């Protein structure tokens, strides 16, 4: 019985991690010639809460920001001698991995290029297929007993 009480917190923490509501943003920063921009400053901002995560690109111009809370975000890339690049309207759902590559135009840091668009999410970094099913879709579903496995019919490519 004592062993069980010691293992219970471990199972609770593992279960909480399995249902984490987080997502990842990653990308590469390049210049107009396609050369990578190392040490560029990346600022990822949750537009609902104004929470910011600031990081630097590595020597290959890449960055990764794991474990971001779900919500709407903007990503800004800046480097000396280049115009700032900002992309807004990035929607992160649970377990998403969204690629935001930035091409920095040559210019002064006081100038910026802003990309604001709702784009279709295409998972190009893995072969994972996922979808988010809303509570309204579940309530409107005409399935006897509302079995969890029957929710797969709502997502294309799921089995």
pLDDT reported for residue 97: 93
DSSP letter for each residue of 95-118: T-EEE--EEPPBS-TT-EEEEE--
DSSP letter for each residue of 17-52: HHT--EEEEEEEEE-TTS-B-TT-EEEEEETTT--E
Cβ-proximal residues to 126 (8 Å cutoff; 6+ apart), any chain: 97
pLDDT tens, residue by residue, 92-151 = 999 999 999 999 999 875 666 666 655 555 556 666 666 666 777 767 766 666 666 666
For residues 94 and 30, membership in a common domain is answered with yes
Residue 8 lies in a domain: no
Reply yes or no on whether the pLDDT at 62 is more than 60.
yes
For residues 104 and 158, membership in a common domain is answered with no
Helix ranges (DSSP H) in 56-142: 135-140
More confident residue, 152 or 31: 31
CA 26 – CA 98 distance, rounded (Å): 6
Domain residues for the domain of 54 are 21-120
pLDDT reported for residue 137: 72
Three-state SS at 122: coil
Reply yes or no on whether the pLDDT at 7 is more than 90.
no
Average pLDDT of the chain is 80
Reply yes or no on whether the pLDDT at 43 is more than 70.
yes
Return the CATH number at 87: 2.60.40.1120
Percent of the chain with pLDDT over 70: 59
For residues 142 and 82, membership in a common domain is answered with no
More confident residue, 142 or 49: 49
Taking alpha carbons only, the member of 34, 33, 39 closest to residue 63 is: 39
For residues 76 and 135, membership in a common domain is answered with no
**pTM tops 0.75:** no
pLDDT tens, residue by residue, 82-96 = 999 999 999 999 999
pLDDT reported for residue 108: 74
Q: Which two tokens stand for residue 32?
A: 């107009």
């Amino acid at each position: 019985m004592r062993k069980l009480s010691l293992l219970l917190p471990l199972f609770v923490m593992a279960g909480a991690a399995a249902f984490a509501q987080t997502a990842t943003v990653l990308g590469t920063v390049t210049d107009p010639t396609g050369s990578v921009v190392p040490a560029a400053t990346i600022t990822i901002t949750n537009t609902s809460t104004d929470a910011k995560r600031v990081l630097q690109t590595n020597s290959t111009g890449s960055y990764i920001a794991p474990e971001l809370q779900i919500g709407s975000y903007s990503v800004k890339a800046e480097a000396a001698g280049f115009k700032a690049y900002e992309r807004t309207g990035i929607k992160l759902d649970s377990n998403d991995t969204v690629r935001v590559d930035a091409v920095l135009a040559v210019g002064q840091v006081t100038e910026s290029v802003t990309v604001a668009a709702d784009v279709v999410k295409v998972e190009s970094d893995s072969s994972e297929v996922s979808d988010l099913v809303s509570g309204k879709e579940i309530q409107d579903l005409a399935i006897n007993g509302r079995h969890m496995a029957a929710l797969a019919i709502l997502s294309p490519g799921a089995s």
